[in-house]
């Protein structure tokens, strides 16, 4: 087969007409050019949005969450613009999407409800910013740091280096606990029970001393000690103190160190940490026989 034959065969395939819209022929070649232009345009949009945000972040000292929101919005704007430019460059009229969209409208309408919901929720999150990148949040019992908020979902980095993908709509439809909504100061609590008969005022002093000697506990606001309840097996106390939350393990580390200090002070001062106790009462119509045997006596009747 000669090179001319191959060239004519390639040219014929390239100019093969797939559809005609508004007297404009859509060929296989124009589709390929359009896809290549779209891929290059989206890649360029990602690169340009990152460079733009880095420039403005350094120049205006933008916060991490603001930079992330600007980068996401600028990427989608640039991606939309480059996509339209790619279609224009490939001589593909926009009305072709009207034809395709009409054929897929019913299926897409039912299948994209969640997608559209999450997309709109992502825009609301970026505008109102109830949850920002870098916030420590708790949703569905999961505590973690917000790493990224996209237009469809958010990435949550949890303790143990686990990454959870949370749909954006969850932040607007569920109760979300944002530990660092306004600042990084949070209040945590450590509960302890002491045996009945323990000197309650002394326990209060020891708990206050433990909180004051804990390096991670802030002096202002001042730690507080509460006598919370007369429990079934213990006198229940709680010490509340504030910490500056900077990383995922700060909260657990502070609680653990506080328990170490409480145990050390209680041991040194003779305060007993309570454990569950139960009194057993026997009720019988006749006396319960009790037999006392010496250690050397054989077992059994005799």
Distance, in Å, from the CA atom of 57 to the CA atom of 133, rounded to the nearest integer, reads 15
- CB hemisphere CA count around 116 (13 angstroms): 6
Q: Higher model confidence: residue 120 or residue 91? A: 120
Residue 298's pLDDT is 60
Every domain of the chain and the residues it spans: 12-111, 131-178, 185-268
pLDDT in tens, 141-180: 889 999 888 778 889 999 888 899 999 888 888 889 999 9
Residue 102's pLDDT is 55
| Architecture of the CATH domain 12-111 | Orthogonal Bundle (1.10)
Residues 6+ positions from 302 with CB-CB distance below 8 Å: none
Question: Among 2.30.30.60, 3.30.360.10, 3.40.50.300, 3.40.50.970, what is the CATH number of 131-178?
Answer: 2.30.30.60
CATH topology of domain 185-268: Alpha-Beta Plaits (3.30.70)
- CB hemisphere CA count around 299 (13 angstroms): 0
Summary mean pLDDT of the chain? 81
Residue 14's pLDDT is 73
pLDDT in tens, 124-133: 887 778 888 8
- CB hemisphere CA count around 151 (13 angstroms): 12
The answer to whether 258 touches 242, Cβ cutoff 8 Å, is: no
Residue 302's pLDDT is 45
Average pLDDT over residues 198-212: 95
């Amino acid at each position: 087969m000669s090179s001319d034959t191959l060239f004519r065969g390639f040219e014929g395939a390239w100019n093969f007409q797939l559809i005609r819209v508004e007297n404009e022929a859509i060929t296989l070649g124009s589709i390929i050019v359009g896809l290549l232009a779209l891929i290059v345009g989206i890649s360029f949009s990602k690169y340009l949005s990152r460079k733009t945000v880095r420039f403005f972040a350094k120049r205006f000292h933008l916060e991490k969450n603001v930079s992330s929101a600007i980068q996401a919005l600028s990427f989608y704007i640039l991606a939309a613009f480059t996509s339209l430019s790619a279609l224009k460059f490939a001589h593909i009229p926009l009305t072709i999407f009207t034809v395709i969209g009409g054929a897929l409208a019913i299926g897409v309408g039912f299948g994209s409800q969640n997608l559209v919901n999450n997309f709109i929720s992502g825009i609301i999150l970026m505008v109102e910013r109830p949850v920002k990148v870098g916030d420590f949040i708790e949703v569905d019992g999961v505590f973690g740091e917000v790493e990224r908020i996209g237009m469809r979902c958010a990435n949550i980095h949890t303790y143990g280096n686990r990454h959870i993908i949370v749909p954006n709509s969850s932040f607007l439809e569920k109760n979300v606990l944002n530990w660092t909504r306004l600042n990084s100061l949070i209040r945590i609590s450590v509960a302890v029970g002491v045996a009945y008969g323990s000197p309650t005022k002394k326990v209060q002093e020891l708990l206050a001393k433990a909180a004051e000697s804990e390096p991670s506990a802030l002096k202002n606001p001042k730690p507080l000690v509460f006598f919370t309840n007369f429990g079934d097996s213990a006198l229940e106390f709680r010490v509340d103190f504030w910490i500056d939350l900077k990383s995922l393990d700060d909260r657990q580390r502070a609680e653990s160190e506080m328990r170490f200090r409480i145990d050390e002070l209680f041991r040194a001062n003779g305060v007993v940490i309570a454990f569950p106790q139960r009194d057993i009462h026997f009720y019988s119509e006749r006396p319960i026989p009790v037999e006392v045997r010496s250690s050397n006596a054989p077992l059994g009747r005799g």
